[in-house]
Amino acid sequence: MGASPDADPPPPLRRNRPLLLLVVEQLTGSVGRQVTALALPLLAIAHLGAGPLGVSALVAVTYLPGVLLSPLIGVLVDRARLRRLLVAGAWLQVPVVGSVPLAAALDGPTWPHLFAAAALSGALGSVQGVALQSGLPRVVPAAHLLPANSSLTGARTVGLIGGPALGGVLIGLVDPAPALLVECAAYLVGGALFLALPASLDRPPREAGAGARSRIEALREGLAVIRRETPLRRQALAAAGLNLGGGAASGLFVLYAERELGLAPWQLGTVYAAYAVGTGAGVLAATPVARALGTTRAVRVCAVGAGAALFLIPAASLGAAFAVLVLYQLLFAPLATVWSIAMTTGRQLATPAHLLGRVNAFLQAVLTATLPVGAFAGGWLASRVGVVPVLVGAAAVALAGTGSLWLPRSVLAGVERAAA
């Protein structure tokens, strides 16, 4: 994991048909998910009179399945026929998400229905995320993994930018409920694109059945890899720290910018636009940076840089708030993007193919759980000690977590023993 996959530039990725199919799927799927992320809370507000607690709970429910079911998801992905799993997961999303606008057109949705739909959709989305990360090395040569992961991240970024805008237009023209049909259409297209992937994805790796005969043994085998591979444990610790701190900061960001700093709406919009620009720059820079530094060093440098950039958020309270927050986004977004792409690529290269689902599922659970925990903890603490002190503490947590990537192995082992 410490070296670049290949010193020579790979052939043009446009010749890799499976990757092109995945890029299109990630683009359409990301647009659909962003429309739903905007429409579902508005639907709950309009039809059920939801308040902040109800909306927050509805969003949180989408994360829970990926956290609670991650061990089983990992085993499923490692043993399943991946193409069939991806197709089934995409097309099952259609009745799950589509049931909400159908209910709105009839008697109206209920809280149990919305929570069930959010939980099922979150579970299916978690399976798809782990399956995609685990299947990519089976359709893309190792030398192409860095640019391939960059391409998929870029496609998702376009969806993150365009999805909310499309959702806002649709909701303004019709209603939140019909807007959910955009995601249904995206999943129909996504399933068809998955169906066009190579049939070789339906053949599990040769070693898949050899090491573990039961689910419990399979889980133990996956955890053994994480315990044995120090880089994977470092990834988990760094991701937990960065997401805890980043979650606390993001949960308070709008409130802090508007009330504490007095930013105008156009300034806040510009700050978020800077994040999109920075993310795009990170997508373009990921491959050359990781090839120049090596995958491991790129992960270390960019993770620590992203953690340190969080200190710019509370620093904005000292003056020139608008300029400082724009600078923060232009630094944090590309560093975090390069870190994520390099980390994913390194994990794909370091993990045996028949265990990749379990390792990806475990790390996805860490990433998924720590964001809402950080947001909740940050909000609770800010109500007691103030926003700025919490933002400083959040940045310190993020920097400490990412700094663990640089700890000597003996020190890291001592930290892990103390935490245990």
The mean pLDDT value for 394-415 works out to 79
- Cα distance between the two ends of the chain: 26
* pLDDT higher than 60, residue 211: no
Are the beta carbons of 73 and 127 closer than 8 angstroms?
Answer: yes
The answer to which of 167-176, 200-209, 299-308, 318-327 has the lowest mean pLDDT is 200-209
The mean pLDDT value for 201-228 works out to 68
* pLDDT higher than 60, residue 97: yes
Mean pLDDT of the chain: 85
Measured CA to CA, the distance from residue 152 to residue 24 in angstroms comes to 9
More confident residue, 175 or 87: 87
* pLDDT higher than 50, residue 275: yes
What pTM did the predictor assign?
0.82
More confident residue, 139 or 229: 139
Measured CA to CA, the distance from residue 327 to residue 307 in angstroms comes to 14
6 pLDDT band (50/70/90 cuts)?
very low
The answer to which of 80-84, 207-211, 243-247, 290-294 has the lowest mean pLDDT is 207-211
Decide: residue 14, CB within 10 A, 0-12 exposed, 13-18 middle, 19+ buried. Answer: exposed
For the chain, percent of residues with pLDDT exceeding 70: 91
72 pLDDT band (50/70/90 cuts)?
confident
- Rg of the Cα atoms in the chain: 21
Decide: residue 300, CB within 10 A, 0-12 exposed, 13-18 middle, 19+ buried. Answer: buried
The mean pLDDT value for 225-250 works out to 84
Residue among 316, 325, 28, 79 nearest 184 (CA)? 28
82 pLDDT band (50/70/90 cuts)?
very high
Render pLDDT for 305-353 as a digit per residue (tens, 0 to 9). 999 999 999 999 999 999 999 999 999 999 999 999 999 998 898 888 8
The mean pLDDT value for 111-127 works out to 93
* pLDDT higher than 90, residue 164: no
Render pLDDT for 23-62 as a digit per residue (tens, 0 to 9). 999 999 998 888 888 788 888 888 888 775 677 678 778 8
Tokens of 127: 């399976």
Question: Is residue 165 within a helix (H) or strand (E), and if so which, with residue range?
Answer: helix 145-173
Instruction: Give, as one character, the DSSP assignment of residue 256.
Output: I
Render pLDDT for 142-153 as a digit per residue (tens, 0 to 9). 888 999 999 999
